[in-house]
Structure 1
């Protein structure tokens, strides 16, 4: 575990919107105001602890200034961010990422703007103790939840932390990161889920891998063609359909995960334990 400091600037945009300002700074804005201000992005760096074992850390805070603006010539475009990380030995490295923006109409059934990440792995690397690492963004953290898409209501500023890992270059790293073991759906707890993320820098084919609660009849086998891209986060629900999280479910009419505590285990096609996540009373002190 080491301490690093991050900072960032917005370096480019795939279109030239009206009133574009702030490129090469940490606050880029665009658009002709139709109310209180322009739209734009802010990146706020921080000092944080970073480990080399796949532990997620906060790369910085992302702020989306989503004020009503006049219709844009092009509603979907990409904005580039360069993040400088200064390590404890004063070695500084720049890592680049791309954000995809959807400037939706200010009125209608879905007026919220959307931001996602078409690429999650930095093309730049850093060598630590002879091993090459890249930065992988694994999502946006809002209200304690890590999400894959950033959605902002109109007429305000919406913020969240950008969550990332420092991962070995060229290899996948699949891990269970969360178990929601107490659902809110009465009796069936159909909304329970296990969350899995590829924290690595290469795709991971998990076809035939088995997720289990270590009890008979509580195994889920991933179907053929299941590939997790770098930074991709999926959920396996007890009995709900959520396509935005991969669309995986056990299809069980009863709860699967012990409300007091237990362990979720992920095994590869050879039965090797890839990841184990203990929760509730099963968490080791």
Structure 2
């Protein structure tokens, strides 16, 4: 475990929207204001403890100032962030870079919230720890206790989320079950139950044919051919709902799958090897 201090600067924008300012700082803005301020991003770091065991940590806080602007016809663009991490044990700085994709949605459209995505979740830079090479992997935006793949930003305000990341070995996938939502909000069927699976590694994982097993006969979900879990990507397998933003996976069960008192989820690969186990309640063992 290492104690580190993080900070960040916005280094590039492409294609360039009008009126960009703040490159090389922790707060970048763009656009011609329409009654309010400019839009922009900021990043604030902090002091955290990092483990090289796949544990997720808060890299820093991302904020989007979202105000109506004239964008000069540039509605989608990439914004690059350089995160400087100082390891206190050796007082050395390492820099990791990431790319944010911004979609300045029409304010009068059916979905006016701006969208921020992470097309590049793995830093191209690495650090050597105990003889092994590690890179930083962003696994999502944490907001209101939930980690999501895409950040939706309502108009006319500042919207923030923690950037969640892990240090992972270079060139290796790391697929784990991180959560089971076993108490759904849909009466009787609990169709909105789900299992959350994340690839914390730096390489994509082909999980075609892998089985998510719910510890009871007949309660298996098999991932279809061509299912690739990208580095840093988070998906969910629902009991009887389909959510495209989470991969669109569903058991298709008309009755609840996950026992409210306690149960265990197993992720099994095509060689019948158990990749990850997650127990909760009376079966609690945590992710592995």
Q: TM-score, normalised by structure 1?
A: 0.97
1:135 matches 2:136:
yes
Equivalence map 1:112-123=2 (5 Å): 112-123=113-124
For 1:208 and 1:267, how far apart are their aligned partners in 2?
9
For 1:266 and 1:236, how far apart are their aligned partners in 2?
12
2:198 matched to which residue of 1?
197
For 1:172 and 1:71, how far apart are their aligned partners in 2?
39
1:262 matches 2:258:
no
The 8 Å contact of residues 121 and 139 in structure 2, kept in 1 or not, is answered as yes
Moved more, 165-174 or 221-230: 221-230
Q: Deviations over 1:127-147 (max 9, x none)?
A: 000000000111100101100
2:31 matched to which residue of 1?
31
Q: Deviations over 1:211-264 (max 9, x none)?
A: 111111111111111111101111000000111111111010000001011111
The 8 Å contact of residues 238 and 250 in structure 1, kept in 2 or not, is answered as yes
2:281 matched to which residue of 1?
280
For 2:253 and 2:108, how far apart are their aligned partners in 1?
40
Q: Deviations over 1:63-120 (max 9, x none)?
A: 0000111243210000000000111321210000000001112223221111101111
* Paired positions, count: 285
For 1:51 and 1:146, how far apart are their aligned partners in 2?
19
The 8 Å contact of residues 71 and 105 in structure 1, kept in 2 or not, is answered as no
For 1:58 and 1:203, how far apart are their aligned partners in 2?
22
Equivalence map 1:1-285=2 (5 Å): 1-89=1-89, 90-284=91-285
Q: Deviations over 1:15-69 (max 9, x none)?
A: 3322211000000001111122000000000111211111111111000000111
CA drift at 1:284: 4.5
The 8 Å contact of residues 54 and 165 in structure 1, kept in 2 or not, is answered as yes
Partner secondary structure for residue 279 of structure 2: strand
For 1:112 and 1:243, how far apart are their aligned partners in 2?
18
Instruction: Give unpaired runs (5+ residues) of structure 1.
Output: none
Moved more, 214-223 or 178-187: 214-223
Moved more, 13-22 or 38-47: 13-22
CA drift at 1:2: 2.1
Partner secondary structure for residue 65 of structure 1: strand
For 1:131 and 1:283, how far apart are their aligned partners in 2?
31
RMSD across aligned C-alpha pairs, in angstroms? 1.2
Partner secondary structure for residue 244 of structure 1: helix
The 8 Å contact of residues 184 and 191 in structure 1, kept in 2 or not, is answered as yes
Partner secondary structure for residue 104 of structure 1: coil
Moved more, 104-113 or 21-30: 104-113
Q: TM-score, normalised by structure 2?
A: 0.96
Change (3 A) 1:5 1:233: same
Instruction: Give unpaired runs (5+ residues) of structure 2.
Output: none
The 8 Å contact of residues 56 and 166 in structure 2, kept in 1 or not, is answered as yes
Partner secondary structure for residue 245 of structure 2: helix
The 8 Å contact of residues 64 and 159 in structure 2, kept in 1 or not, is answered as yes
The 8 Å contact of residues 278 and 285 in structure 2, kept in 1 or not, is answered as no
